[in-house]
Amino acid sequence: MNKDQVKGKAREVRGKVQQEVGKLVGSSEQQAKGLSQQAAGKLQKGLGDAKEAVKDIAKGNRN
């Protein structure tokens, strides 16, 4: 795992928590911010996944 994968997953979790808190308090703004954080986290995690895939391919080509 690389730092983009870890940070992305953490951002997804924070977004989910923010969304749920928004639901509990009836704040559609907080829910929307939570969804936005989740989406950003998924993108960052996807970037990290892509970096890992490139590393794996590069390692495979050297052997």
What percent of the chain clears pLDDT 70, i.e. is strictly above it?
Answer: 95
Phi and psi angles of residue 31, each rounded to the nearest 5 degrees, phi first: -60, -45
Residues 51, 2: contact at Cβ < 8 Å? Answer: yes
Q: Average pLDDT of the chain?
A: 94
* Tokens coding 16: 């989910």
The structure tokens listed for 63 are 């052997």
pLDDT above 60: residue 63 = no
Residue range 16-36, pLDDT digits in tens:
999 999 999 999 999 999 999
Percentage of residues of the chain with pLDDT beyond 90: 90
Cβ atoms of 47 and 1 within 8 Å: the answer is no
| pTM of the model as a whole | 0.84
Domain range holding 22? 3-62
Q: State how many domains the chain has.
A: 1
